[in-house]
Amino acid sequence: MEPRITVITLAVEDLDRAVAFYRDGLGWPTQGIVGREFPDGAVVFFDLANGLKLALWPRVSLARDAGVEPGPGSPTELSLGHNVRSPADVDAAYGRVVAAGGIGIREPHPTFWGGYAAYVQDPDGHLWELVFNPGLLPPQQEPEGNVRSVESG
């Protein structure tokens, strides 16, 4: 089996509120909510880098689809990282997500390993690390589609 993740689905309580957070707070592109015409079908997808998609689906719909009882979420069961290109980008992202309804958990700060990071929770309690870690940055995409490495400037 190839080690690949193509979709990360987060369970949410209020789909419209969650869409506003990710679209307006993080600035991620989406076509909006689709599937409202189907029972348990309302879902939203965000297109991320390298073909990865983030899906938001109501908690009760996800539980029914998986055949499990819905349960409460816990912010410490998972942390997702949004790696940006500079400490200033961490500061800006932190301000945007808090203004869009996120909960500031730990303000932007230098890390012990030489990076820069902050923690926020989305309106459903999912823990996000907004981080500048240059060692984990992917190559930048040029507007015409040419890939440029971070080192080449």
Domain-wise residue ranges, the chain: 7-66, 79-141
pTM of the model: 0.77
3-state secondary structure 91-137: HHHHHHHHHCCCEEEEEEEECCCCCEEEEEECCCCCEEEEEECHHHC
Contact in structure between 94 and 121 (CB atoms under 8 Å): no
The residues facing 43 across adjacent strands are 34
C-alpha to C-alpha distance for 22 and 30, rounded to whole angstroms: 9
146 confidence band (pLDDT: 50, 70, 90)? very low
pLDDT, average across residues 79-104: 95
C-alpha to C-alpha distance for 35 and 44, rounded to whole angstroms: 9
Would the CATH topology of 7-66 be identical to that of 79-141? yes
pLDDT, average across residues 138-147: 55
pLDDT, average across residues 86-96: 97
Give whole-number Cα distances, 41 to 58, 59, 75, 89, in Å: 9, 12, 25, 35
Comparison of pLDDT for 8 and 71, the residue scoring more: 8
pLDDT at 32 over 90: yes
3-class DSSP state for residue 62?
helix
Class of domain 7-66: alpha beta
CATH number belonging to the domain at 79-141, selected among 3.40.228.10, 1.20.1090.10, 3.10.180.10, 3.40.1190.10:
3.10.180.10
pLDDT at 58 over 70: yes
Contact in structure between 33 and 19 (CB atoms under 8 Å): yes
